[in-house]
Structure formats: C-alpha cells, structure tokens
Amino acid sequence: MKTISTLILVIAQSYFCFSQSKIDSLYLGKTFPGNKPVVFLAGITERIAISSDGKDIFFNSLSGLSYCHYSNNAWGSPQALFTGFGEASLSINDSILYVQNSQPNSYYSLKSASGWSDPVKLWSNSANKHHLQVTNSGAFYTTTSPKISSRGDIAKVIINGSDVTLKSLPSPVNSTLNGVDFYIAKDESYIIFPEIVGGAGDLYISYKKTDTTWTNPKSLGSLINTTDWEFGPYVSPDNKYLFFSRSTASATYWVKLGNMIDSLKMIAIPAGLNNDYKPIPYKIFPNPTTGHITLSLGTSQNNESLVEIYNLQGTKVFSKTFQNTTSATIDLTGHPAGIYLVKVIADGVSYEEKIVKE
C-alpha cells in the first residue's frame, strides 16, 4: 500500500511530467529549447535517460527510479519503477536497464513484454561504481569511489572472465577537480563531466584523440555553467539535446546542442599549451588556493625550470625561469577566481596541470 508521502510525490511528478505537454510528441510534448537552458523536469529530479525511440524517459526521484511511458498517442502518468535505485542508463538496444543502489553498486534489469525485471547485481566485486554506462563497442565506463567524496575518477571497466577491475582514464580527464558525474558518447568520442571550482561544479568536455588519449577539458560556457552546481549530464539518443541538473533549482534542464560539440572541439588549445598533456610530477599546493601557490620541484635542485601560467582564455598571466632551486613561490592574488593551467618545462620535458584560484 502506498504511503501518503509517496502519493504526494506521484502528484508532484505528474505536474512536472505533464506541464506544457501535449499528446503524440516526443520529450513529453515540451517546447523544444534553444541555445539557453530551460527546465525540462521540475521538482526533485536528476540524471535522466531516454530510450532510443523516445517513448520511455527515466529519472531519479525522491523515492528512487521513476519513468514516464508514451503509448496510444499519449504520455502515461509517471510511475515508480525501483525503490532505492537510481542513475539509469540503457543498453544500446534498450533491452537492459542499468541502475545503482546506495552503496553504490551496479545492477541490471531485463525488459520483457510484462515490464522490467527486479534489479540483479551485475558483478560480485564490491568496488564502488557510479552511473555505469555502456558504449557502442560494448565497453563499460563508470566513476570510482564516489561514496566517500563528491570527487571520483572516470574509469573503464576491464572484464577478464570473472575478474572485474576499474582502470581510471588518464589525465587530463581525471584530476583533483573531478566530480563523480559524467556522460560518455556512445562512440566514445567525448566525455562531459563536472569540474569542482569554488565549491560548485561546472560542466566540461574532453575529446578522445586518435592515439586514445584525451584533450584538455573545455568549459561548456556561461549559458550552461553558472554559480550553481551543474551535474548529471546526458545527451539525448538523437544527439540534439543536452540534459543536466542544477542543485539549487532541484530541476533537470535541457538545451539545444546544435553544433556545440563540434565547435568546442575546433576551438584552439590556449597558446603555449598542447594536447599531449603530461601532469606535473611535482607538488603544487595549496590547490585550490586563495592566491599564493608553491611549486615543489623535487628534492634535487633543477638547473633551470620555466614556469608559465595561463587562464582558460589562453592569456599568459605568469612566466618566470627558476634556477638552482627545489621550490618556487608564485603570487596570483591579483588575478580573478577560476581555473588556471600551469606549464612547467624542465630538463627538456613539458608538463601541465590545472589549479583553482578561489
């Protein structure tokens, strides 16, 4: 028997599923968005997933995983699917629904004529896995260890018989700035994920290169990223729309993609930086910083180290050569808050790392 709180939740979900809706149309009958994000689902919702035919829309709600289904030329009322589960993603042919519990561990549900089966744990190992996704190649990707932190590594799931391990993707996709949410394109050509800056998350995109490494992340821009926390990115199966959530609004937004993905890929990397990213093998602290940072150059003195710092517009804001020293102190107090790229050239090798100024 449903509790009163569950009934209230269903009524609230009915409102956001059918607000501005009309029959015989996709996306709940909503007016398609332009280049400015607008609310798609109001209320406590996040992390949606849409079937390839557009007739099923899954989303996290207060009670767990819910969904709306389109049939007989109309959208049905929102239904609670699995209590205590969320973070839905679908297999390529929509026959398998991947979800997670609160641990979080990955589960799967099989589709049949009568509906979805009860979730079954996918792998026996206990490693935390957040929002499992599968690509066209059959590869699985997830985020590691999100239970203890709002940060985590995006990882590829390596399956060898009964042995399942998580292999973190290299820098610059993973860094100390990463949030736990992500979306990977079905062809694995790009990943969208939040980077945590000043206590909030902004959405960034990184592209896979021909050598299977990844480009430096680029911000999705000020129309999407605000002072709020943006998270839970998802791209519709037709590649027309980006969905994401904002924390204070407690809503899922959508925005027209247009040529956003391709245009950001064509934007040049800031001058002086290159996409053959190598993380600095030294320590930069504190990071985040309020202004002053110290770059530890190792235990032995380097004959010469060139340190350059760029903002995300590609402007060089600092450049100095340090000689015969094991550390360098740099003052960024006169520069605005944001993400900066530190480039160090030492012994003929170039390294790059991101820092956050609060």
Give the separation between CA 151 and CA 194, rounded to whole angstroms.
Answer: 9
pLDDT at 1: 31
Q: What average pLDDT score do residues 185-214 get? A: 87
CA distance 209 to 189: 8
Owner of token pair 């998270």: 231
Mean pLDDT of the chain: 81
Mean pLDDT, range 275-289, rounded to an integer: 68
Q: Judge whether 145 and 155 are in contact, CB under 8 Å.
A: no
What sections of the chain are H helices per DSSP? 4-18, 260-266
Taking the model in full, what pTM does it have?
A: 0.71
For domain 4-266, give its CATH number from 1.10.10, 2.60.40, 2.120.10, 1.10.260. 2.120.10
pLDDT (tens digit per residue) in 210-248: 888 888 888 888 889 888 889 999 999 999 999 999 887
Does pLDDT of 354 surpass 80? no
Summarize pLDDT for 178-188 with one digit per residue, the tens: 777 899 999 99
Give the range among 140-154, 168-182, 187-201, 216-230 with minimum mean pLDDT: 140-154
3-state secondary structure of 263: helix
Identify the residue whose tokens are 């998802």. 234
How far apart CA 319 and CA 322 sit, in angstroms, is 10
pLDDT, position 301: 55
Query: Residue 43 is encoded by which pair of tokens?
Result: 């209320």
Q: What average pLDDT score do residues 292-298 get?
A: 83
Domains of the chain: which residue ranges? 4-266, 283-357
pLDDT of residue 80: 94
Report pLDDT for 149: 52
Tokens of 158: 């390596």
55-64, long-range: CB < 8 A, 24+ apart: 56/94, 57/27, 57/28, 58/88, 58/90, 58/97, 59/88, 59/252, 60/86, 60/87, 60/88, 61/9, 61/13, 62/9, 63/6, 63/9
Asked if residues 107 and 98 have their Cβ atoms less than 8 Å apart, the reply is: yes
User: Per mean pLDDT, which range of 126-140, 146-160, 318-332 is the poorest?
Assistant: 146-160
State which CATH number among 3.40.50.720, 3.60.20.10, 2.60.40.3080, 3.50.50.60 fits the domain covering 283-357: 2.60.40.3080
pLDDT in tens, 70-106: 998 889 888 999 999 999 999 999 999 999 998 888 9
